[in-house]
Structure 1
Amino acid sequence: MKLFGNRKLPLLGCEVVHSLPGRVRIRCPALQYFAEQKTEIQERLENGEEIMSARVSTITSNVLVCFNEQTATRESILEATESVIGSFSMIAYKAERKEKMQTTVNERRLQEEPISEMLTRVTVTTLSLLISFLSGSKPKSGIFLKRFVTMPALTSLSLAIPIFKSGLKSLRTSHRPNADTLSSAAIMASLLAGRDISALTIIWLADIAELLTAYTMERTRKAISDILSIGEQFVWRINDDGLEEKVALEYLRQGDRIMVHTGEKISVDGVVESGEAAVDQASMTGEFLPATKKNADKVFAGTVVKSGRLVIRAEKVGDQTAVARIIHMVEEATYRKADIQGTADRFSANFIPLNFVLAGIVLAVTKSVTRALNMLIIDYSCGVRLSTATALSAAIGNSARNGILIKGGNFIEMLDKADTLILDKTGTLTEGKAQVISIVSLDGRMTEQKIIELAAASEESSTHPMAVAIMDKAKRSGWRVPRHTDTKVHVARGVETKVGGKTIRVGNLKFMEENGIAAQSAHESMTRLVRRGENVVYVARDQVLVGILGIQDMLRENMKKALNRLRYSGIDDIILLTGDVEQHAEIVASRMAMDRYMAEVLPDDKAETVLRLQSKGVTVVMVGDGVNDAPALAYADVGIAMGGTRTDVAIEASDITITTDDPLMIPATIRLAKNAMNIVRQNFAISISVNTVGLLLSSLGVLPVFWGAVLHNATTVAVVLNSGRLLFFDLEKGK
């Protein structure tokens, strides 16, 4: 299943709406975004050989084209028009996405309150509660109207107006209660019973939940909006004369040729026509080493040329590129994840109507207002709501203190159900940083120090990850870099320099063979290093191979222990999913005793794997750190962005962010979630059983109103205290 395949922006589809001999009117919805480019579009159309004149209207999104019937057809004119307007696809893409996000934000603000107003409500409610508690406010009795003129009661009524409206609207339009209907019932029941502080508490908890939800959604939308403006703004397009010209990325179109130099980001998906370069495509594939790209190789937007230069023919531009599809997938997954109905709401939905039914039955049978009132005072809503709100808030607070950001209580619930874990390799299982692991001398007179010093002399000015690893080894060991001259870089092969009059070459096997350097003496050592998953670098002096280096992206410390703890926590299936090559993936999966692995997968494939697993009924947790992981993180039941090397896109796509590089935090987070959900279930049992006993005793006339209120509030206090234990949960010890 291809998630998006060659998806094109629907806005760019043009169609003929009217035609006469030599004249055709074409509608193209994307024109609404091209008011500033109107003149340029018209000029480009008229510069075409087949078109005699063109008139563009961005108001009606129409183009009127006059053409010579002897040389052109209606179909060819439509194709030419689509080609010209399609060259502005990036402008349409950004405008359409921003308009969609703004519309969604505006719709939310029409239905809900802006975040600033929510924050004001929470502040007012908090202050009112504090004043009420400090003043020793007690349950009100006596004259009925006096119960509604206390400060907490008046505050509750004023702040509950939006809740009342929403609850009544749900009953009127859908004929079923929603969360606000339940809140309204609980608030009014509390006020009627004279328990104004209980009413205020319900509003306070509801406002906090809405504020956190709105804040998280706003952050996600902002992150997506920011992503749309990230990347190269200009490219070097090669014109018909073979010269480079600097043009805005928005004007690039399919079939154009561009030049990308060292250090520049590739802005299109395309095919290399000429040149050779080392391309860092970790953001797309997860490979920690740059890949060699030459004639006929495919390249992706968002990757970076580390050395060399390429002439690329654009196959996909604007919204059609892989990186644009990744952003779109993250955005769609964010919209797809509708807010789940909380466990507390489900319980309240069943028990709130029961309270009213019981009150009516008791009043009809016993004719006792006191007994009926007890049916409303001892209600389930407050305790049940606090059962989840306090437990999940405590768990989120505890995790935040330990460097774990959980974006919502629903993800704690999903972690409790998780049975399948997918891990990215580079930057997640591994440190994402190359290190020299092995130094093999092939010359008895050459020490490890000397081999590293010669290699460092060649690589000192290079930014290649292999070179950085060699320089880091020399620096950490306190070894000096010898003086050198005439350094030459051979793209995708190696580097050579002069040290003491001798030529030092450092690079791959192909580089050695091209320079006539025999490597047979290193075959056995090379094979051993490769089997261990190390990348081999050859070091030669003049025409003699003097040593080889084994360089590897190291597995994170404690990773295997973390995976063992995950199995103990109920994770049955642990999968490695990486864009790296098969050989490296197999070695890592074997060392970590993982259940299975998938290698050489692109971002689309990672997301597809998540969806395929979910279709089998499993609950998937995805752990990653890069742009290439973002779609899978977004589509997983729980996405976890981990480590100091994680990208902003991964953070915003994920549901949980672990700010440290310690893999033990993954099983610790799951243990915290399971403990939190156990406490939620305990709270439900306490609240429901005690309140049920209270209702039974009240209906029999055994329990007075005062003690009914005491029982109800004691249950609430018990729930809060039980939830408070999560604040002291030790993530390291798991208890």
Structure 2
Amino acid sequence: MKYQVMYDNGPRLRVRSGQWAFTKREGYGLASLLLNQSFIHEVLTSHRNGSILIYHDGDVESKQKIFNILDGITLDDLFEAEPTQAQSSREITDDFYLKLSKMILHRFVYRIFLPIPVRNALTIFNAAEYIWKGLDSLTSFRVDVALLDGTAVTGALLQKQYKPASSMMFLLSISDALEDYTLQKAKSTLKDSLALNIDTVWVVGEDGEEKQCPAVDIDKGDKIKVHMGDVIPVDGKVIEGEGMVNEASMTGEPLAVHKRPGKTVHAGTVIEEGNLIVEVYSMNKETRLNKIIDLIENSEELKADTQSKAEKLADSIVPYSFIATALTYLITGNSSKALSVLMVDFSCAIKLTTPLSIISAMREASDNRMMIKGGKFLENYANADTIIFDKTGTLTNATPKVVEVVPMSKRYNRDEILRMAACIEEHFAHSIATAIVKQAKEEGLKHEEDHSEVEYIVAHGIVTEYDGKRVVIGSKHFLFDDEKVKATKTQEKKMDKEAAEHSVVYLAIDGKLEGLICIDDPVRDEAKYVIEELKDLGIENVIMLTGDSESGAKASAKALGITDYKSQVLPEDKSRIVEELKQDGKTVIMVGDGINDSPALAAADVSVSMKHSSDIAREVADISLLSDDLYDLVTLRKLSVGMLDKINNNYRNIVAVNGSLLVLGVLGVIPPSTSSMIHNLSTMLFGVMSTRSVLKDEDYSKGIEVEAIEVADIS
């Protein structure tokens, strides 16, 4: 591919290949091709001039790899594809700005070049739509904004006030365009969060062998294998295997459902445990998930409560506008003064500024790599007074390390315990399992597959047969309460000692305790500062939930300055705790990243998933953080609170300005044309002010400052 570098600074690279280099859909395919690389985070293409904007890791090595890829692309490599969420979002924004530009251009061109009689005729023509909507409200006995708008436009035309009527309709059309844009952006984000981004699947052949194939090549009747922790990519019937499937994205129910042969599964649901072989019924756009996505197009549930309240407020003001207009006419007998009152429409400014404030905040969130599924979740985040953190992977770096291995009998030595644990745990991507496998590898403790198929019990542990013996590894609760493993008094003393200092994984063979694996997972450097700032920003209750031992939880809570924490918490307990807090009148934020956090995420008023969250956590969460900086939670709080402050300030300013115009109009100080002009100009000004950024420069750099403080403390 021939291209020219147009911009190259840090993680942002733009190249241009010129017009006709690729079509619009080929541009989507090109973006898809580049996004297969882990060091490339976002790609935007423009077929109009062959522009490719690439966001990457920002280092020299990544940049050189990108150039190598671009150099190697030929015409044969181009293929058509669907747009990414970023591309769709960009196109929605571009279309809105294009529509807005056309509206403004047409208005000024008409005013400059068209004769006054023609302009007046166009005003009457455009007024027909508003008059018709007003008549519809009148015949339906609805006293709403449409009736007020229609009456105001009609009154202005009867008074031959064509210019004020035209200005009013222009602002109303901008308000409608903004509201449509707000909903399209919210729907686009939600649809992407539900859409499946699965490139390959495991297809089971007639001979029983598994083969990895592109997801687009699947046909009805094919058999695919879906492993634990994976998203199911199709609708189908289970023909082999058993498992627990979380269907929260489909049904809203947080608890997993048992699936066995003969049961139906749906695309977008996630296997919490077990493996399933599924016969494909439907895929792609035929799945139930995609039918739900289509229904989103007609959904009004994405609006923030604030926006809905603004629309109701606008409607509730209408009767008072009519009453004020009627009283003015009855008292003064002057239709011009009455029209001055009617032309001052509070609802116009309210309807314009509220969606603008919300979409502006969502844009800022997107710029800060935070994906929000709807304005109402941003509002809930601002109003929340309680935040619950999962510990591992959220308040910690999710990179635990084995610090000690303690044999509990003479039957197995330290190395044998670690080797055996690594052999069993290597089948799972859990952070503690990774730590055990890594430690064995570093010590050169190689192992062979001496065990049968493993059974993973979520939030508890693992059961398998090793060298003909039943082996269990996991939490203390799992071994001693569920598996009824016995321990001697000497062993209990050792357990108490290690559990007081570390998080402990227990290993038993044939019902006897054989080893302890002691693990530490230090808290994130910035976590304490983040919690302090959240408290300063109005979060009254900070709670930490963890499945770890009491000693490990206590040590972490003390390091973080958290007084309210609960240890050895099961997934269903997390959900119950969230529900209890909500029943006590708390507005709850839940922050988590694992499969076992999904019930609590679904139950919270607003839920947040971290960058490296499991598939199911991202599916359930209302807000997804796309960076690994915990300080984003503080930034999000400032942004959401700032959004509501902006909306409330708009309300006060709108009432002050328009209230003054009403008084001046009634007193006859200003004519209807002046009243309308000032009203329209102030509405536009409020609209522009609503697009201003909430966050300041220091809000973006705080995470870096926290890191600098830590470095200074260490030195």
Fold-level similarity (TM above 0.5): yes
Distance 2:690 2:244 in 1: 48
1:203 is matched with which residue?
173
Point out where structure 1 has 5 or more consecutive residues left out of the alignment. 1-115, 237-247, 253-258, 274-278, 285-299, 313-317, 319-325, 443-449, 498-504, 511-517, 540-544
Q: Secondary structure at the match of 1:674?
A: helix
Q: How many residues align?
A: 533
Aligned equivalent of 2:609: 641
Would you say 1:488 and 2:463 are equivalent positions?
no
Change (3 A) 1:369 1:218: same
**Corresponding residue number in structure 2 for 1:435:** 400
**Unpaired runs of 5+ in structure 2?**
1-90, 207-218, 249-264, 282-288, 408-413, 455-461, 477-486, 509-513, 703-715
- 1:545-582 per-position Cα deviation (integer Å, ceiling 9, x unaligned): 9x97533455444223222222222222333456x366
Shift, 1:688, TM fit:
0.7
Match of 1:420 in 2: 386
Distance 2:639 2:503 in 1: 37
SS class of match (1:574): strand
Where do residues 117-132 of structure 1 align in structure 2 (5 Å cutoff)?
Answer: 123-132=98-107
Instruction: Compute the displacement of 1:528 (Å).
Output: 4.1
| Code of the aligned partner of 1:132 | R
Structure 1 residue 659: Cα displacement: 1.4
- In the alignment, is the contact (CA less than 8 A) between 1:625 and 1:646 conserved in 2? yes
| In 2: Cα distance, 1:652 partner to 1:263 partner | 12
Q: What is the 5 A alignment of 1:317-336?
A: none
Q: For residues 148 and 595 of structure 1, what CA distance do their matches in structure 2 show?
A: 68
Distance in 1, Cα, partners of 2:294 & 2:599: 9
Residue by residue, what CA displacement relative to the aligned partner does 1:608-629 show, whole Å, maximum 9, x if unpaired? 5545443443322233335554
Distance 1:691 1:404, change over 3 A: same
SS at match of 2:163: coil
Shift of 1:697: 1.4
Tell me if structure 2 keeps the 8 A contact 1:186–1:382. no
Give the aligned partner of residue 593 of structure 2: 625
Q: Which residue of 1 aligns with 2:696?
A: 729
8 Å Cα contact 2:571/2:600 also seen in 1: no
Q: Please, which of 631, 640, 665 is the counterpart of residue 664 of structure 1?
A: 631
Q: Is the 8 A contact 1:423 1:577 kept in 2?
A: yes
1:386 correspondence with 2:352? yes
| Partner Cα distance (1:457, 1:631) in 2 | 29
Mapped partners of 2:531, 2:168: distance in 1: 45
CA deviation profile, 1:523-561 (whole Å, cap 9, x unmatched): 87754442244234799xxxxx9x975334554442232
SS in 2 for 1:662: coil
CA contact (8 A) 1:679 1:723 kept: yes
Contact 1:383 1:716 in 2 (8 A): yes
| Equivalent residue in structure 2 for 1:176, among 139, 142, 146 | 142
Distance 2:356 2:221 in 1: 50
Query: How far off its partner does 1:473 sit?
Result: 5.4
- Partner amino acid, structure 1, of 2:177: D
TM-score of the superposed pair, with normalisation by structure 2: 0.57
Q: Tell me if structure 2 keeps the 8 A contact 1:129–1:201.
A: no
Residue 392 (structure 1) shift: 2.3
Aligned to 1:683, what secondary structure does the other structure show? helix
SS at match of 1:645: coil
CA distance in 1, matches of 2:390, 2:605: 16
User: CA 1:470 to 1:146, structure 2 compared with 1: closer, same or farther past 3 Å?
Assistant: same
Q: Secondary structure at the match of 2:450?
A: strand
1:280–1:305 Cα contact (<8 Å) kept: yes
1:275-294 to structure 2, matched below 5 A, reads none
Instruction: Return the match for 1:213 from 178, 183, 189.
Output: 183
The verdict on how the C-alpha distance between 1:184 and 1:410 changes in structure 2, with shifts beyond 3 A counting, is farther
Q: In the alignment, what sits opposite 1:677?
A: 644
**What is the rounded CA distance, in whole Å, between the counterparts of 1:396 and 1:642 in structure 2?**
18
Match in the other structure for 1:376: 342
Residue 686 of structure 2 corresponds to residue 719 of structure 1: yes
Matched, 1:194 2:163: yes
Q: Structure 2 vs 1, CA of residues 456 and 658 (structure 1 numbering), >3 Å: closer, same or farther?
A: same
Query: Cα distance, 1:327 vs. partner?
Result: 13
CA distance in 2, matches of 1:182, 1:627: 52
Distance 1:414 1:148, change over 3 A: farther
SS of the residue corresponding to residue 403 of structure 2 reads strand
The answer to which of 393-402 and 190-199 deviates more is 190-199
1:313-712 correspondence to structure 2 within 5 Å: 339=303, 340=305, 342-431=308-397, 433-439=398-404, 462-464=426-428, 465=430, 466=432, 468-470=434-436, 472=438, 481=444, 488-489=450-451, 492=462, 527-536=496-505, 550-577=518-545, 580=547, 583=550, 586-587=553-554, 590-591=557-558, 592=560, 593-597=562-566, 600-602=569-571, 609-626=577-594, 629-630=597-598, 632-647=600-615, 649-705=616-672, 707-712=674-679
User: What amino acid is the match of 2:518?
Assistant: G
How far off is 1:698 after superposition?
Answer: 1.7
Distance 1:371 1:216, change over 3 A: same
Which one has a bigger Cα radius of gyration? Answer: 1
Q: Give the partner amino acid of 1:376.
A: L
Give me the whole-angstrom Cα distance separating, in 1, the residues matched to 2:371 and 2:608.
Answer: 10
d(CA) in 2 for partners of 1:227, 1:724: 32
Q: Secondary structure at the match of 2:388?
A: strand
What is the distance in 2 between the residues matched to 1:190 and 1:599?
70
Specify whether residues 674 and 577 from structure 1 end up closer, same or farther in structure 2 by C-alpha distance, changes over 3 A only. same
User: In structure 2, the residue corresponding to 1:663 is in which secondary structure?
Assistant: coil
Report the aligned-residue RMSD: 6.1
Q: Alpha-carbon deviation of 1:726? A: 2.6
Q: Alpha-carbon deviation of 1:199?
A: 2.1
Give the CA deviation at 1:402.
0.9
CA distance in 1, matches of 2:355, 2:394: 32
Distance 2:567 2:237 in 1: 27
Contact 1:395 1:727 in 2 (8 A): yes
Asked whether the equivalents of residues 390 and 724 of structure 1 are also in contact (C-alpha less than 8 Å), the reply is yes
Q: Return the alpha-carbon distance in structure 1 between the equivalents of residues 121 and 346 of structure 2.
A: 25
**TM-score, length basis structure 1:** 0.55
CA–CA separation in structure 2 for the residues paired with 1:551 and 1:673: 38
Structure 1 residues 664 and 154: CA distance shift in structure 2, 3 A: farther
Task: Give 2:67's aligned residue.
Answer: none
**Partner amino acid for 2:174?**
W
Q: Secondary structure at the match of 1:194?
A: helix
Corresponding residue SS for 2:612: coil
Q: Distance in 2 between matches of 1:453 and 1:559?
A: 34
**Distance (whole Å) between structure 2 residues aligned to residue 197 and residue 582 of structure 1:** 67
